[in-house]
Chain A
């Protein structure tokens, strides 16, 4: 599909208008719910793709999301903090946490990183469940909804716009990173880590930047998730969620940093819902999906339509 520059701009404008006015066109709350979850998940998936770009295959996605969600929930329920205060604090807290975790696990090399990120995502769930101050296995209930003045976010469209804002904000953050000098270094690492190290790119440092950025944005996402679902249980943030995140990334296409995650999350949230696959069979569906993707569509959905673009956004 080759379009002229003019047509591309028209298509982009129409797309933006569609996204903005979607709640007025489709009034189904079910669709809104799927889109909100997909939008939130796409932030985490962007983080995963950024880490994949520096050759870190991470299973920390759910841990970061859970960290953000729990920080936000504890601040809101125990200290009565406002959502607009919880959101940045959750982001910062998760950023600091990801820095601590990253400095522990990034140095050990590629394979250690994969295994230990998986191990610590389970440790995180166990710790949440065991510590009774954090609600234990029953989780936290009664997380207040966000509000501006007297307007409380209750309806799905309201949350839709909130998610849209957060997702575009995080997408802009990632786009800015990819366009900056840091992004150039990331691409160098992606193409050949040995070569990148030999020209003086500090692998650990740049990997850490990608890891902490992913942590920060996923923390924000987790905070909004906590205030959207209004209750949290530790099991939500287990290994399986991280796996779903990586599957979303693979479905969208790992070479496309912004479009890929968004497309992948929407497809993978919507497909099970519309194929009427219940929770019980969802793991088996995801399992078959990833094996099919891995064997036959390695470039992901976007890769079918587009050859690898220069920037890959």
Chain B
């Protein structure tokens, strides 16, 4: 393998990985703070992609489209929270089943509105540059840069007072409530934050792929395994494992074709066998 190919594969891995990071972080924020397993999270990613794609095709500038896609998925997350997750908060099974049901409704809804065929979203950032004999497109750089900026914004948000309250809620809900933190408000913030991250991830990646109604399904599998391998509610773990998975998938796809998914899952199985509670996870003493 020559150097040029290596750089290309690494770059592709970083692009995929940064999207994984955004989606997995969104899920892990909701899961860590509200302890809600939102299995429709991957479909929020799909919705983000469709909203962004629709706006771009209508001729809205890309920055506005990106913000609107994020806002729209955030509002949908808020609605979903009040309609489904809050009333069912007491029962994990009902939450999980209802969130998968919500996902099915979202897929069918998008199929009814946008049709079943794939939608190609034109890329806004065009052109490429070369370093030595390695050609790098601006689009990939833009995807990585936007993801990085969003993650940086999340990092600084977690440093504010609200962010500290979110972190306290992650560690111990009851203790946080005793300190005067309004935990149910934190849950709402977490849900909106998670949905916005998923929506932005979808919007960022969609020019690179095509918009499909079922694009949320494969990524659901990926982000669930990232969250489990990284450990429950660990944002740092989600970032590292997400990028790692992206790189493994990129190299796996080049060398093994469509078997890359199986290879990735064998890695996941080994990691879970060695670390049942995740790499950065804390073993919950509670048996539930």
Contact = CB atoms under 8 A, between A and B. Distances in A.
Contact of B104 (A119, A130, A203, A286): A286
B99 to A, nearest CB: 9
A145 interface: no
B276 interface: yes
Given A108-B228, A108-B272, A112-B277, A287 B105 contact: yes
B88 A115 contact: no
B288 A55 contact: yes
B88 A295 contact: yes
A291 B273 CA distance: 34
A246 B93 contact: yes
Interface stretch (B62-70, B71-79, B262-270): B262-270
Interface in A111-145: 111-112, 114-116, 118-120, 122-123, 126-127, 130
A288 B288 contact: no
A57 B93 contact: yes
B220 to A, nearest CB: 8
Contacts of A283: 104-105, 107-108
B48 to A, nearest CB: 20
Given A116-B228, A287-B101, A193 B287 contact: yes
B195 interface: no
A36 to B, nearest CB: 25
B277 A290 contact: no
A13 interface: no
B272 A291 contact: no
A287 B102 contact: yes
Nearest to B108: A284
Instruction: State the main secondary structure of chain B at its contact with A.
Output: helix
Contacts of A246: 93, 97
Q: What bracket does the count of chain B residues touching chain A fall in?
A: 35 or more
Given A108-B277, A130-B262, A254 B37 contact: no
B277 to A, nearest CB: 6
A291 B276 contact: no
Interface string A49-91: 0001001010000000000000000000000000000000000
B115 interface: no
B288 A110 contact: yes
Given A112-B277, A119-B221, A119-B268, A57 B104 contact: no
Given A104-B273, A110-B288, A116 B224 contact: yes
A243 interface: yes
Interface in B83-104: 84, 87-88, 91-94, 96-98, 100-104
A194 B287 contact: yes
A197 to B, nearest CB: 5
Given A240-B104, A254-B93, A294-B84, 18 more contacts: A57-B93, A112-B228, A112-B232, A115-B225, A118-B39, A118-B220, A118-B221, A122-B221, A126-B265, A193-B287, A194-B287, A203-B287, A283-B107, A287-B102, A287-B103, A291-B101, A294-B101, A295-B87
Interface of A: 52, 55, 57, 104-105, 107-112, 114-116, 118-120, 122-123, 126-127, 130, 193-194, 196-197, 203, 239-240, 243, 246-247, 250, 254, 281, 283-284, 286-291, 294-295, 298
Minimum-distance CB pairs A-B, first 10:
A287-B104, A287-B101, A193-B287, A108-B276, A290-B101, A284-B108, A294-B94, A283-B104, A287-B105, A115-B224
Interface of B: 31, 37, 39, 84, 87-88, 91-94, 96-98, 100-105, 107-109, 217, 220-221, 224-225, 227-228, 232, 258-259, 261-262, 265, 268-269, 272-273, 276-278, 283-284, 286-288
14 contacts: A55-B288, A109-B283, A114-B92, A116-B224, A126-B261, A193-B286, A240-B104, A243-B100, A243-B101, A286-B104, A287-B102, A287-B103, A291-B98, A294-B97
